[in-house]
Structure 1
């Protein structure tokens, strides 16, 4: 395969993650609009986030093996078709239930093309160290999309344009990426070493593997900590009345910018320090940001929560790449699906639980107390990873 073709494949993957982030990370800006427009509780409005995440989880677990079975290209194109269809349908609907159903279809689509893209990145990487650096670059483009999406929604709302057109724009981008996918040549599908073809049964058996479960659990804790920011931080900071109102207004944008900067710094950091040390230090910093919010309330949150984006930046792509690299290339689609299942399940349930807790106690600050617990558990998991280094042997032999 030529260098130009490999470069095209990498850029195609970058733009997939950019497109995904445009829609998924804009929900924090959209939810306050939904609450006002449809007179919803925080628990009801959070369906805009947890519905697609639940279906990403189901799709990743039940359909992740397709990337190994029918190939990356076919799986990506199926996902793109479903994604574009759902996005364009947003323009002809004005019903909250229909929106949730469309987001569920988007979740299925993302589960398909994201697992295929993650498997493709593994196949393109000659070592787990290169895989980790590549994954951080890919997540850097995700972080850029996470900046663009909320910014577009904020501009649309200010200009009097409906937020649904964010999805129309994402649909147009999806069509362009589909055309690029049709033209580019993909790497050959890796041959399985065992006689068992990729299937849902093989994926479910992989759920018994301690390395798959360990990395999935760590990623789930990280995701529970991160989604609290982009789903509920705008709601929390609406109660802020201090001197830094401008910072509160752009807090989510600042969080996404710092997360993007951190991910592009990952290559430099990972060349100097071991990934275990980096994960431990960053998880401690995240916990301290949440602890400050828990102890001092919204006055501290206006600074500490956006700042946490810089520390969150490298954790997900690094853990994700290491988890996938623990397995042979012909299993990358399946294990990516397993990890994506726990990722999306956490992304769905954590903000939902935060919404339920906040409704019960009467304020979103109680939801962030729960998020502080998630951050503490993540820190303990990274401490164990640094102390015992449980994946060392598997990463050295696969």
Structure 2
């Protein structure tokens, strides 16, 4: 297969990042229980990750083409490897925060580079969308395995051992990248010599109506996803009265639902226009919340029950219905940009995804503390409604862009 080695490298980069980025909910629960901190204090971990991603992406997205995609990925993976080695050696909450800062820096470098590399090794919008979909699918596989690997070691009282495994995978990916050839001459020939001009190009993209509606949609989507994913283990533990181990295991259904939903939507969208798939999915999410939250409010006592198990099993199915939104929107906007602007567009995607994740997690944590977990998850209906209202004009703008 053409470009097999570079594609494998991209898959592994996303796989490693997926495990670490989506372990926030698990680490929040472990930090609360092991380091004796509050819910609101623990929510800083989401900010350590996402704000770092946003800040680094803002300043380096336009510089990466000059530096090189392959070099950027290697530097990002090196940061991840060192941070994962330090975690079990310096077992503390401050090290946990530092680890997520390192992961944030690394992911900003890696995601811009990966998304931009896809533009180099694909030759059509269909091929581009297919590879992006596969990469996001790999990302979700990493998310699913994240829950199972962490829960395996949590049950044995050695949850920090997980980081040794991640460090080993990251190191293997670095070695693979070093021995992988990536021809970046096409990008080098098309980029302008002034870095400041590249930076202004990224800012200039925001002025386009289709880009503006897109980044608002991405922001709200990640707000919903991270708001649920980061606090689902804690919701299972404090509201449904499940054990730490069971809370993490049932939370993994959310990631598995997203992975399954993205595979299923890939087939469905061959027959049905993506706008309809996205809107119907969001409506189903709202219906699920309206059905499940009253069940959670009826759970009482200090130990889990049949109703707890049923609620913990059904709530994560929201992931299935929101699954196609992110890769569909990202592929549509990236393939509409020329090759030399794709790194800038990828930078905007990462920035607003990161901001959405940080704010989503923070808002849910505050609501969780003040109003309780049930109310916090009820309020997610608001961004779901807003996203429906944004998808409709975005689809129209996208059709006009394709027509022109």
Does structure 2 retain, via aligned residues, the 8 Å contact 1:68–1:332?
no
| Count of aligned pairs | 388
SS in 1 for 2:270: helix
CA–CA distance in structure 2, aligned partners of residues 93 and 292 of structure 1: 44
RMSD: 2.4
Does structure 1 retain, via aligned residues, the 8 Å contact 2:81–2:171?
yes
Q: Indicate which of 351, 363, 376 corresponds to 2:361.
A: 351
CA–CA distance in structure 2, aligned partners of residues 151 and 252 of structure 1: 10
SS in 2 for 1:199: helix
Q: Indicate which of 126, 141, 145 corresponds to 1:144.
A: 141
Write the deviation string for residues 299-344 of structure 1: whole angstroms up to 9, x where unpaired: 6843442111211221111111112122111111111001110001
Structure-1 residue corresponding to 2:275:
276
Question: TM-score with structure 2 length normalisation?
Answer: 0.88
Structure-1 residue corresponding to 2:81:
84
CA–CA distance in structure 2, aligned partners of residues 249 and 67 of structure 1: 36
CA–CA distance in structure 1, aligned partners of residues 161 and 207 of structure 2: 42
Structure-2 residue corresponding to 1:166:
162
Q: Which segment is superposed worse, 101-110 or 203-212? A: 203-212
Structure-1 residue corresponding to 2:390:
381
Does structure 2 retain, via aligned residues, the 8 Å contact 1:64–1:337?
yes
Structure-2 residue corresponding to 1:329:
339
Q: Indicate which of 110, 127, 134 corresponds to 1:113.
A: 110
Q: Which segment is superposed worse, 182-191 or 45-54? A: 182-191
Unpaired runs of 5+ residues, structure 2, are 298-306
CA–CA distance in structure 2, aligned partners of residues 247 and 52 of structure 1: 25
Question: Closer, same or farther in 2 for the Cα pair 1:117/1:396, shift >3 Å?
Answer: farther
Structure-1 residue corresponding to 2:233:
234
Does structure 2 retain, via aligned residues, the 8 Å contact 1:22–1:146?
yes
CA–CA distance in structure 2, aligned partners of residues 32 and 11 of structure 1: 33
CA–CA distance in structure 1, aligned partners of residues 291 and 338 of structure 2: 42
Unpaired runs of 5+ residues, structure 1, are none
CA–CA distance in structure 2, aligned partners of residues 248 and 86 of structure 1: 26
Question: Closer, same or farther in 2 for the Cα pair 1:41/1:337, shift >3 Å?
Answer: same
**Pairwise CA distance, 1:186:** 1.2
Q: Which segment is superposed worse, 190-199 or 313-322? A: 190-199
Write the deviation string for residues 86-114 of structure 1: whole angstroms up to 9, x where unpaired: 22111221221232022112101110011
Q: Does 1:74 align with 2:71?
A: yes
Within 5 Å, which residues of 2 pair with 1:1-398? 3-4=1-2, 6-161=3-158, 163-188=159-184, 189-190=186-187, 191-192=189-190, 199-238=198-237, 239-240=239-240, 250-297=249-296, 301-361=311-371, 363-386=372-395, 389-395=396-402
**Pairwise CA distance, 1:199:** 3.3
Question: TM-score with structure 1 length normalisation?
Answer: 0.90
Q: Which segment is superposed worse, 270-279 or 202-211? A: 202-211
Does structure 2 retain, via aligned residues, the 8 Å contact 1:247–1:302?
no
Does structure 2 retain, via aligned residues, the 8 Å contact 1:144–1:260?
yes
